[in-house]
Chain A
Amino acid sequence: MPANWGYVIAAYGIAAVALFGYWRHLARRARALTARPRAAVPQRTTPRTTS
C-alpha cells in the first residue's frame, strides 16, 4: 500500500485554502461595512422595481 501522502496533503490544502479564503472574504466584508458610516453605504440600484 503506497503512502499517497500527496493526495492527503492536496485534499487538506485545498480545503484549507477554501475555508481560509471564505473567512478572509467575510472579514473583509464586515470591515467594509463597519468602517464606513452607515449613510455612506451606497444604495443598491434597482433597475426594475417589481410593481
Chain B
Amino acid sequence: MTYARRAWIVLQKDLLIERRSKEQTNALLFFCLLLLFLFQFALGPDRERLTAALPGLLWLGFILAGLLGLGRSFLAERENDCWEGLRLTPGDKSAIYLGKLAGNCVLMAAVEVVLVVLFGVFYDVDLWTPAAPLALVLALGTLGLASVGTLFAAMTSQARARELLFPVLLLPVQVPVLLATVSATQALLLGQPLADVAHWLKLLAGADCVYVTIGVLTFEFVLEG
C-alpha cells in the first residue's frame, strides 16, 4: 500500500465515523452559535465596537472550536482501544499523522464556513468582497492550528487531565498563527489589498511548513511505545 493511500484510509475512516455519528459536527456548530451570542453580550449592542473587534472575535471563535474539535482527534482510538491498532500499522507512521491532519482540516473548515456565514449575517459585515483572500488566510491559519493541534492531541490523549493540558500546551505555541491571521483578517476587512498582508501570509506559510515538517518527522515517536 502506498504512503498516500494509507493517509487516505485514515482520513476516510475518520470522515465515515463522523458522518455516521455526527457527534462532533453538531456539537461544534451549536458551540459556534453560542459563541456568537456570547460575543454579542460581552461587547454590547455598539456596532462600531463589534466591527472593530470582529477579526479577533472570529479567530477566537475558530480557536475555541479548534480546541474542542482537535483535542478529540485521537479520542476515538483511545476509548475503543484502537491506539494499539494505529501503532501496529506497518510502514511509515507519518501517513497516519497526515490522514488525521487532513480530517481535522476538513472538520475545522466546515466549522469555519458556518461561523463566517453566521458572523456575516448576525453582525452585518460584508465578508463577500474580500472572500477569496480571506479564504486564503483561513486556509493557512487552519493548517497551522491543525498541524500542531493534531500532534499535541496525540500526546495529550495519553496523559492525565488532557482536557486541560491540550489548550495549555497548544495556545502559547499558536500565538504567531493567531497574531498573523488576526492582523491579516483585520487588514482585509478594512478593504486593503492582499499585497499589504503579504508578509503575514509568508509568515503563516513558513510556520505551516515548519509545523507540518516537525509533525511528520516526530509523529512516529509519539505513536510508538
Contacts and interface: CB of A to CB of B under 8 A. Distances in A.
A22 to B, nearest CB: 22
Nearest to B158: A50
A50 B77 CA distance: 12
Contacts of B81: 51
B83 A48 contact: no
B160 A51 contact: no
B191 interface: no
B74 to A, nearest CB: 12
A51 B158 CA distance: 9
Contacts of B83: 50-51
Interface of A is mostly: loop
A2 interface: no
Contacts of B84: 51
A47 interface: yes
Interface string B82-121: 0110000000000000000000000000000000000000
Contacts of A48: 160
A47 B225 CA distance: 18
A46 B84 CA distance: 19
A50 B158 CA distance: 6
A47 B158 contact: no
Nearest to A50: B158
Interface string B69-86: 000000000000101100
A48 B160 CA distance: 8
Interface string B44-69: 00000000000000000000000000
Nearest to B87: A51
A50 B160 CA distance: 11
Contacts of A47: 160
A51 B83 CA distance: 8
A41 B25 CA distance: 48
A51 B79 CA distance: 12
Contacts of A51: 81, 83-84
8 contacts: A47-B160, A48-B160, A50-B83, A50-B158, A50-B225, A51-B81, A51-B83, A51-B84
Interface of A: 47-48, 50-51
Interface of B: 81, 83-84, 158, 160, 225
Given A50-B225, A51-B84, 6 more contacts: A47-B160, A48-B160, A50-B83, A50-B158, A51-B81, A51-B83
